Structure 1
Amino acid sequence: MKTTYIRLTIATALLLGIYSCKKGEATTSDYAVSEPEYNKEIVADSISSVATMSVKDKQFIKTANVNMEVKDVYAATISIEKSVQDLGGFVTHSNLQSNVISEDTYNTSDENAMLIKKYQTENSMQVRVPTAKLGELLTLINDKKLFLNSRVINAEDVTSSIKYAEMEGKRIKKTSENISDLKTTKDKVKMSDENMSEENQQQLANLEVTDNLKYSTVDIYIKEPKIRIAEIAVTNSKIIDNKYKFNFIYDVKNAFVEGFYLIQRIVIGLIVIWPILLIAGIGFYFYRKNKSYKKTTQTDKE
């Protein structure tokens, strides 16, 4: 009896062990299948939680900066711009350009050639989107990435600045009332003008803060990691250069004409310096005459 009980216990333990292993394998398999979806939810939640952060009695100006690599810069640009518009935002800057890495021309015939350009495309954008939609926009941008280089989200607490602006507004208003009670003098006019200028600057600052609270600014830099190649059919310029580089008959004719003009310039130059030539001729005449006289005198003495 005792032996039978031990055997039953061992059999039960083995069955429980096999069942546990199978259950563990099934759970692991299920987890592996659902992991990508789980990670996507984590990424979306992390973007949303940072970008849509809200604290009671606090006001934040939110900005973001995204630097990433995409498969197609042009397609990603169009998609991002459309997403921004759909969310009620607008694009303030978009600079899409191709950086040429190399450029070579290969002649394929006497008339034709092929220009080969190797380049990479990039775009630097700045968009503004309603602050409430910032998290949604960042999620849409994140879906376009091949590789995320960096993503920075800033939330600047401007609660105290807004309170201070309100107090400054009351001070400026009180100052304006005090100035109006003064007698009209040059000093009063000057003080009134300075106070009005300060009031205008304060109102401008308030408008900027209100606008930045309503709309978040997002700077986006995207580029393609791969090098693109453009093949452009062009004319074989070398054969054209050789064709018109030298024309014997024309060059000989042109040489005769240029020689004739050179003679004209020399004659005109001599005419211009005729006084110098006249003085030189007179000097040479007297020099020869004096030399001839000395030679005759020396012959007579001998």
Structure 2
Amino acid sequence: MKTTYLRLSLAAALLLGIYSCKKGEVASTDMEAYATADSSAAMVSDSVSSVATMRVKDKQFIKTADVNMEVKDVYETTISIEKSVQELGGFVTKSNLQSNVVSENTYNTSNENAVLVKKYQTENRMQLRVPTEKLGELLTMINDKKLFLNSRLINAEDITSSIKYAQLESKRIEKNSKNISALKANKDKVELDNENMAEDNQQQLANMDVTDNLKYSMVDVYIKEPKIRVAEIAITNTDSIDDKYNFDFLYSAKSAFVEGYYLIQKIVVGLITVWPIVLIGIAVVYFARKRKSAKKRSDAEA
């Protein structure tokens, strides 16, 4: 991922005409200075690959590293690495320390107390930026913290030819700028001039990105603990609390009486609401009985 990012930065720089005019020349000079700096002060042990400290005359490299290892204590190692990076003149851009819970169980020890037992494994993903000439020294410090090294990737990308090509492109862009200046003032010239200024602004940004990548190496570090840790946390016995307040007869009986009283009220209110229907029903029954009585009398007289 880091290599792809660096290549995209270089491609953007080339397409935008990196190192054009005076600003581009200054950036190119800075890059060459980083490549030819004296490395005699960098003392590195045999445990670090020569790629980290490689210096080749007339060559320029963007260096990156990726370390994956197991350590005794992730937290202590994290603090140590961050301190080492600062001492070397670098900085930390990401530190994501977290504990992954494997299991979690609660054990009751009394009616009031319990213990929460967590089994977990701690890890951290870090991203560091360190001066390129200090990369080997930092990797040596990180290596001293390991219990077991899973993997280590050190990459030195040669960008010499890309920079040389960018310098040739800068001459073409400079010539193009002079040609635009010689044009007669009109709408097309204004548009060409605006495009050229926008291109110059973007290439300056690309210059800074490449220069920064030459000056500071990026190091990704993944550390974890090989064994699962156990945390015992004192908590309250919630089961006994639930049993204590699960059922209260007197309170439940009182609540049932009150609910029954409210139910009677609702029934009465419901009957009042349907009083027209009740009245019609009473009238129908009354007239039906009256009609039935009249019919019985007529049958008796006959």
State TM-score, norm by structure 1: 0.73
Q: Percent identity?
A: 71
Q: Provide, for residues 107-163 of structure 1, a one-character-per-residue CA deviation record: whole Å limited to 9, x for no partner.
A: 111111112111111111111111111111111111111111000011111122223
Structure of higher RCO (CA pairs closer than 8 Å, 6+ residues apart): 2
Residue 110 in structure 1 maps to residue 108 in structure 2? no
AA matched with 1:128: R
Bigger radius of gyration among the two? 1
Residue 80 (structure 1) aligns with: 81
For residues 38-77 of structure 1, the aligned pairs below 5 Å read: 44-45=45-46, 47-77=48-78
Q: Is the 8 A contact 1:169 1:199 kept in 2?
A: no
The alignment partner of 1:105 has SS state of: strand
Alpha-carbon distance, 1:283 to partner: 7.4
The alignment partner of 1:153 has SS state of: strand
Q: Is the 8 A contact 2:114 2:235 kept in 1?
A: yes
Q: Distance in 2 between matches of 1:221 and 1:67?
A: 5
AA matched with 1:278: P
**In structure 2, do the counterparts of structure 1 residues 271 and 297 end up closer, same or farther at CA, with 3 Å as the change threshold?**
closer
Deviates more, 1:287-296 or 1:134-143: 287-296
The number of residue pairs the alignment matches comes to 257
Residue 221 (structure 2) aligns with: 220
Q: Provide, for residues 60-92 of structure 1, a one-character-per-residue CA deviation record: whole Å limited to 9, x for no partner.
A: 111000000111111211111111111111111
Q: Is the 8 A contact 1:101 1:117 kept in 2?
A: yes
Q: Distance in 1 between matches of 2:187 and 2:269?
A: 77
Q: Distance in 2 between matches of 1:117 and 1:61?
A: 44
Residue 276 (structure 2) aligns with: 278
Q: Is the 8 A contact 2:47 2:140 kept in 1?
A: no
Residue 23 (structure 2) aligns with: none
Residue 253 (structure 1) aligns with: 254
Residue 149 (structure 2) aligns with: 148
**In structure 2, do the counterparts of structure 1 residues 233 and 295 end up closer, same or farther at CA, with 3 Å as the change threshold?**
same
**In structure 2, do the counterparts of structure 1 residues 265 and 213 end up closer, same or farther at CA, with 3 Å as the change threshold?**
farther
The alignment partner of 1:44 has SS state of: coil
AA matched with 1:68: M
Q: Is the 8 A contact 1:68 1:223 kept in 2?
A: yes
Residue 195 in structure 1 maps to residue 193 in structure 2? no
Q: Distance in 2 between matches of 1:141 and 1:168?
A: 41
Q: Distance in 2 between matches of 1:260 and 1:57?
A: 98
State TM-score, norm by structure 2: 0.73
For residues 86-235 of structure 1, the aligned pairs below 5 Å read: 86-235=87-236
Q: Distance in 1 between matches of 2:121 and 2:213?
A: 34
**In structure 2, do the counterparts of structure 1 residues 264 and 136 end up closer, same or farther at CA, with 3 Å as the change threshold?**
same
Q: Distance in 2 between matches of 1:206 and 1:97?
A: 36
Alpha-carbon distance, 1:185 to partner: 3.9
**In structure 2, do the counterparts of structure 1 residues 55 and 249 end up closer, same or farther at CA, with 3 Å as the change threshold?**
same
The alignment partner of 1:211 has SS state of: helix
Q: Is the 8 A contact 2:71 2:224 kept in 1?
A: yes
Structure 1: stretches of 5+ with no match in the other structure: 1-42
**In structure 2, do the counterparts of structure 1 residues 189 and 287 end up closer, same or farther at CA, with 3 Å as the change threshold?**
farther
Which structure's residues are more often helix, by fraction? 1
Alpha-carbon distance, 1:270 to partner: 5.8
Q: Distance in 2 between matches of 1:157 and 1:217?
A: 15
Residue 239 (structure 1) aligns with: 240
Residue 4 (structure 2) aligns with: none
Q: Distance in 1 between matches of 2:180 and 2:266?
A: 84
Deviates more, 1:50-59 or 1:217-226: 50-59
Structure 2: stretches of 5+ with no match in the other structure: 1-43
Q: Provide, for residues 253-273 of structure 1, a one-character-per-residue CA deviation record: whole Å limited to 9, x for no partner.
A: 22333334444455555666x
Q: Distance in 2 between matches of 1:269 and 1:161?
A: 90
AA matched with 2:276: L
Deviates more, 1:193-202 or 1:285-294: 285-294
**In structure 2, do the counterparts of structure 1 residues 153 and 279 end up closer, same or farther at CA, with 3 Å as the change threshold?**
same
Q: Distance in 1 between matches of 2:202 and 2:135?
A: 29
Q: Is the 8 A contact 1:127 1:218 kept in 2?
A: yes
**In structure 2, do the counterparts of structure 1 residues 281 and 229 end up closer, same or farther at CA, with 3 Å as the change threshold?**
same
